[in-house]
Structure 1
Amino acid sequence: MNAFSLFKKKRDQCSLDDELESSSKSPKNDIFISYSFEDIGKTFISHLRSALIRNSFTISDHTMLPVGQNMHLELLKAIEESEMYVVVFSPDYASSVRSLDELVDIMDSFNKFDEKKVVPVFYKVGPSDVRSQKGPFMEPFQAHQTNTNLDPLRVQEWRQALKDVSQLSGLTLQNGDEAEFVLKVVEELEKMQRPQEFHVTDHPVGIASRAEELISTLRLDQKDRVLVVAVFGISGIGKTTIVKEVFNRSAPSFDLSCFLADIHHICKVPNWKVKLPKAFISCLTHENRFSIMSNHNEGVSKIRRLVSRRKVLLVLDDVDHFQQLESLDICPKWFYEGSRIILTTRDKRSLGNIQCIPYHTMLLNRRESLNLFTRLMFVGDSHVNPKFIKEVVSRAGGIPLVLKVWSSHFKQYEREQWPSIMETLKGIPHGDVQKQLQLSYDSLTPRLKKLFLDISCFFNVDSETVDKDLVVKVLEDEDSRFFPNNEIQYLVDKSLVEIEQGGFFKMHHAIREMGLEIVRQENEDEPGQRTRLWDQTDVMRVLTECSGTEAVESISVAFFKDMHDVTLNAFGKMSNLRLIFVWIHRYDSLSFHDETAHLLFKKLKYMHWFHFPFKSLDNFDMCNVVVLTLTKSRLETLWEGIKNNITVQVNWTNVKVGAEQTKCYKNFKMIQI
């Protein structure tokens, strides 16, 4: 083995030994400069170094290595501890054996670490001179080729390194203002510098594993494709936090990177279709000189030019409408190959027609929730109440935001008060949690808001499992062109509702409590003036005081106490009731004093009454009822007469159906008795 081969083997081994250590650390220096000292070290390089230092870059080169050490090992260390490499090719560069060896080391490091960047600077030479070793490079290489003291393989490595580096995008100065050219080099390096890392979170519980999953979804190894990944999940689940971690890890592998946060808030201002592209361009270029941009088309043209030339990592955080993506002209075909676009959203429909790979953010599991809440509340505290922690974790339902807000809230009070505070939070969500979770609700149309509140306050009651088909059957209204099947899917796309296997509704209880709180705030003092009633205490108050009003549209309650003070007229005042669910624990729990009273429920669509206490339905005028379920009722007859087109499922043999038609309940789709 010749001397050069031994040298190369030792160099490669040194690089391999340091790889794991150096890859896990941040670069020690921003820039390593490679140049021929004898040629331009005291002129152009001196000016360039001064300009870089003035712009807060940390730099290194072969003249700054420590004295008395193994110079080559120190050189390798300096190269691998630098983020970017500036290789300045001058007319006499190829005459320097040291510079050529240095270039080979730089290209080895560049090829080994994806986050490294090389900027070739052609100072009074052309890229073709470097690539083909012509012009001022021809004579030195002829001399190297005939030098018997040089291994031909070593010369070949130089040629290959020169060919590879000359194919990278660089800067050229043949003639012109040298001072202006130095500023241009510095400006380019500022754009390429490693993006400033985001502070992710003080307590990154569960972040690392989810970040790894998302990075895997990005398929960074597919460098010839442009991919869009959409990160879905409810508010407060940690979408942005996870994406920040992914951005910190992945951005160094891209030529340009941009994290555009809070798209939703940016687009609240007038003229946002100009402001949003302007913010995007400033993020990509790290400058604000586009503040004079006057129209949307000007911004789109600039964005296309920027993203088509370099590999870009783009994060658009909190997208809530497809027009936001249209205003930025987010179309994969405009992006340079290898680019990646990450979108975070609560609404699948905000993506429009963009083809994307979905990533569904997972809630914290029980172990992760316990870990996070313990860190937030009890660092260094040995007096931990396991029962209290378990209750909090159970109620938080794996949403990091809830755990963080609650921990901060609890810390404001003495420990003895925590149980009572927890009881309050069960009925009234903390304002910060409510505000965040309500963002999705606020963006709904009035029809969708009504449907969401029906599901959260009525069809998602804890005591009953309700399937989607039943809700569609009950709420469908051809006259007003309301078809809940489509609307329910919209709520699913907004991450407000889930449909379990078998078609049953599933709603995270934090989302449900957000809906309950919206209704509670309709009138905090008088529940009878709210649109929906579900709390047993509130319902008992409304019925015993006869304080219900026309505002009430649904009642959902289970009575476990005697209700002898309730009269039928208490229901009569709520003439706009659409939905009724009453569970009475026995027949005689409810005693009406005026069974002859007549109730006109023209808008009633659904009634489920367990242990229905009446012997007939003649007290109820329900011309629009769709579903009637009277389980274990006291009915002896449905009504006087028969109803056309009605399928009656009779489970009790003592129920009698009249022989003469007196009413026509044409909307009935199901009756269970």
Structure 2
Amino acid sequence: MNPFSSSTCSKRKRDSSSFDDESESSSKRPKHDVFINYSFEDIGKTFISHLRSALIRNSFAISDHTMLPVGQDMHSELLKAIEESEMYVVVFSPDYASSVRCLNELVDIMDSFNKFDERKVVPVFYKVEPSDVRRQQGPFIEAFQAHHTNTNLDPHRVQKWRHALKEVGQLSGLPLQNGDEAKFVLEIVKELEKMQRPQELHVTDHPVGIGSRAEELISILRLDQKDLVLVVAVFGFSGIGKTTVVKEAYNRIAPSFDLSCFLAAIHDICQGPNWKVKLPKALISRLTRENNFSIMSNHNEGVTKIMRLVSRRKVLLVLDDVDNFQQLESLGICPKWFYEGSRIIVTTRDKRSLGNIRYVPYQTMLLNRRESLNLFTRLMFVSDDTKNTKFIEEVVGRAGGIPLVLTVWSRHFKQHEREQWPSILETLKGIPQGDVQKQLQLSYDSLTPRLKKLFLDIACFFDFHSETNDMDLLVKVLEDEDSRFFPNIEIQYLVDKSLVEITPDNTLLMHHAIREMGLEIVRQENEDEPGQRTRLSDKRDVMRGTESVESITLHTSENLPEVTLEAFRKMSNLRLIMFDYDDYADEHLKINDETTHLYFKRLKYMCWPGFPLKSLDNIEMCNVVVLKLINSKLVRLWEGMKV
């Protein structure tokens, strides 16, 4: 653990009410990076002058007793400057203890150090021994003898000085007896850079619902268990807000760690060749804040260096958008290598990307209705707009609690006049906006061809009808022993990628935004010729179906075009047919010849209310599992035996 930091992770416990969903962040950065405590008469114009210049060159915001505003109460302004500083550099020089001002400042510094979270004290022993500071010996003896004989000084105050000196003298610090002062100044600056509170990440312009979720995540991290090294995996599909929640949590807790790093967009870093070297280099660069380290010939060199870096200090490491266990492997992520108290947060769409690493899960929750209304209103309007309440309600209902959808849609609406919003909304119902589709499709793109086919079956067929959502039924329908395809195993992959959910009553669910992403993927199979697509769900496209079609789903008979048996002859690869409507009129299917043969050898599921044929003699469907022909014209199934 960093010897200059506080001995406790949290000297003050925050009230839970301070975590405000509507605020930008509950953790405000101190105004000054460094407050310098020193004897001006002794070293103010020499060593301190060089130190101050070096700190300013390296972009530190500094303060000391010479920089207080004129005409104000000096003690209150001094106390304010101390409390508004993140780090305290206390420079002990031979004449330090002679300065009453220095000693009073030191008492205030140690009070602030013990009172506030994430404060750090850096003792600098300039030509004095740390033991002399602790015991008030050496050059400090004469000064304290004078203080004790000074009748104008309160003896209780002198004892406070002694206690503060003993306390700070017990901290590890940076000593200089004889040597290169310029080099020593650079050493101090470098140490402060390592200790400096990490730069706050931008979370979002409208942090609706983020505060409470960040608080839940922080609770799961169990920061009070200081000897524990813990991995927390944050799950959820693209666009649900995983990264946003983690950024907020990171900003709140990073100052409690000796070293913190947020490695963003790992999926993007790992594109292209040689990523197994590029990824460790990116992490090392952020951990060390250096870009000019020696070139690595292979990723093993990077793993070795990462191991050294994380084994020495308490680390907060965020690995964002991990989609493959090889990525963690290339970084050498192994909890046993981390220093006690470290925390590793991994955001991912796929549970399998954690491999064999033991972790605690955190499932990112969708926005509830109140949060969705709040967010969309903020995105769209300067203030509450009661004139558009119905419009807002409808958009929120369609967005399904996904922040990305609300954000992208709000941008799209704001580019048009209000009169156009209703028609735009109707368009969005059928075609997801590009940015939404791109983000949601990331999980789909990572699937194998077999899993992609299974996902599209669920999105375009099974998830439309509640009765087809039963897991046992779905498995029986899609199981294919000849090709060794067993959906009960494959579906778990989709669950791990947050694309589907299995409820306790064994029902399969899919978020409607994910389903619409699947429908859009099918639409893009052939935008000009819908009949060439693998799955049809538009009544206008049925007549144009070809052998490419594997499933048909229609949910209304209203204005259904006349469909001939000849049209179905073209769709010889049909596996799934769902006509789901209450109007069983038979005028929608034209029968030219009841002797027409239909070869549905791959058909597994057919629901056809008002089925118009009198028998199934001329329909080959030897693999069918579910056959639902409510209110049909059937007189008999078939003559003889079908195999």
TM-score (normalised: structure 2): 0.89
CA separation of 1:563/1:34 partners in 2, compared to 1, >3 Å: closer, same or farther? closer
CA separation of 1:262/1:563 partners in 2, compared to 1, >3 Å: closer, same or farther? closer
Q: 2:555 maps to what in 1?
A: 558
Q: 2:571 maps to what in 1?
A: 574
Structure having greater relative contact order (Cα 8 Å, sep ≥ 6): 2
Q: 1:607 maps to what in 2?
A: 606
Q: 2:21 maps to what in 1?
A: none
| Structure 2: distance between partners of 1:663 and 1:69 | 100
Are the equivalent residues in 2 in contact too, given 1:236–1:436 (CA < 8 A)? Answer: yes
For each residue in 1:363-387, what CA deviation from the matched residue of structure 2 results, as whole angstroms up to 9, or x when unmatched? 1122222222222222258583222
Where do 5+ consecutive residues of structure 1 fail to align?
A: 1-22, 642-661, 665-673
Letter paired with 2:268: H
CA separation of 1:374/1:561 partners in 2, compared to 1, >3 Å: closer, same or farther? closer
**Deviation of residue 129 (structure 1)?**
4.5
1:486 aligns with 2:465: no
1:622-661 correspondence to structure 2 within 5 Å? 622-641=621-640
CA separation of 1:177/1:529 partners in 2, compared to 1, >3 Å: closer, same or farther? same
| Structure 1: distance between partners of 2:290 and 2:357 | 29
Q: 1:55 maps to what in 2?
A: 58
Letter paired with 2:563: V
Aligned residues: 616
| Structure 1: distance between partners of 2:140 and 2:299 | 48
1:474 aligns with 2:480: no
Q: 2:334 maps to what in 1?
A: 331
| Structure 2: distance between partners of 1:486 and 1:24 | 45
Are the equivalent residues in 1 in contact too, given 2:539–2:560 (CA < 8 A)? Answer: no
- Matched residue SS, 1:359: strand
CA separation of 1:599/1:397 partners in 2, compared to 1, >3 Å: closer, same or farther? same
Where do 5+ consecutive residues of structure 2 fail to align?
A: 1-25
**Deviation of residue 232 (structure 1)?**
1.6
CA separation of 1:24/1:569 partners in 2, compared to 1, >3 Å: closer, same or farther? closer
1:224 aligns with 2:222: no
**Deviation of residue 448 (structure 1)?**
0.6
1:592 aligns with 2:595: no
**Deviation of residue 491 (structure 1)?**
0.5
Q: 1:521 maps to what in 2?
A: 524
2:304 to 301, 305, 313: 301
Identical residues among aligned pairs (%) = 80
**Deviation of residue 72 (structure 1)?**
3.4
Are the equivalent residues in 1 in contact too, given 2:547–2:571 (CA < 8 A)? Answer: yes
Structure possessing the higher radius of gyration over alpha carbons: 1
| Structure 1: distance between partners of 2:132 and 2:229 | 34
Deviates more, 1:281-290 or 1:442-451: 281-290
**Deviation of residue 90 (structure 1)?**
2.7
| Structure 2: distance between partners of 1:335 and 1:108 | 32
1:64 aligns with 2:71: no
- Matched residue SS, 1:386: helix
Q: 1:209 maps to what in 2?
A: 212
**Deviation of residue 520 (structure 1)?**
0.7
Are the equivalent residues in 2 in contact too, given 1:572–1:600 (CA < 8 A)? Answer: yes
| Structure 2: distance between partners of 1:303 and 1:151 | 53
For each residue in 1:195-215, what CA deviation from the matched residue of structure 2 results, as whole angstroms up to 9, or x when unmatched? 222222222222222222222
Are the equivalent residues in 2 in contact too, given 1:107–1:161 (CA < 8 A)? Answer: yes
For each residue in 1:85-121, what CA deviation from the matched residue of structure 2 results, as whole angstroms up to 9, or x when unmatched? 0112234434545433432321221122222121222
CA separation of 1:225/1:381 partners in 2, compared to 1, >3 Å: closer, same or farther? closer
Q: 2:43 maps to what in 1?
A: 40
| Structure 1: distance between partners of 2:418 and 2:66 | 63
Deviates more, 1:291-300 or 1:498-507: 291-300
| Structure 1: distance between partners of 2:172 and 2:489 | 51
Are the equivalent residues in 1 in contact too, given 2:27–2:251 (CA < 8 A)? Answer: no
Are the equivalent residues in 2 in contact too, given 1:87–1:119 (CA < 8 A)? Answer: yes
| Structure 2: distance between partners of 1:508 and 1:103 | 59
Are the equivalent residues in 2 in contact too, given 1:587–1:612 (CA < 8 A)? Answer: no
- Matched residue SS, 2:411: helix
Letter paired with 1:557: L
1:84 to 71, 87, 102: 87
Letter paired with 1:362: M
CA separation of 1:34/1:596 partners in 2, compared to 1, >3 Å: closer, same or farther? same
**Deviation of residue 169 (structure 1)?**
4.4
| Structure 1: distance between partners of 2:422 and 2:197 | 48
**Deviation of residue 465 (structure 1)?**
4.7
Letter paired with 1:576: N
- Matched residue SS, 2:89: strand
| Structure 1: distance between partners of 2:427 and 2:469 | 28
Letter paired with 1:615: K
| Structure 2: distance between partners of 1:341 and 1:152 | 50
Letter paired with 2:284: I
Letter paired with 1:624: N
Letter paired with 1:663: K
Deviates more, 1:237-246 or 1:463-472: 463-472
**Deviation of residue 194 (structure 1)?**
2.4
| Structure 2: distance between partners of 1:189 and 1:616 | 85
| Structure 2: distance between partners of 1:360 and 1:289 | 38
Q: 1:263 maps to what in 2?
A: 266
Are the equivalent residues in 1 in contact too, given 2:586–2:610 (CA < 8 A)? Answer: no
Letter paired with 2:586: D
Letter paired with 2:414: K
Deviates more, 1:605-614 or 1:138-147: 138-147
**Deviation of residue 37 (structure 1)?**
3.0
Are the equivalent residues in 2 in contact too, given 1:453–1:515 (CA < 8 A)? Answer: yes
TM-score (normalised: structure 1): 0.85
CA separation of 1:213/1:170 partners in 2, compared to 1, >3 Å: closer, same or farther? same
**Deviation of residue 601 (structure 1)?**
1.7
| Structure 2: distance between partners of 1:351 and 1:432 | 27
**Deviation of residue 623 (structure 1)?**
2.2
1:406 aligns with 2:418: no
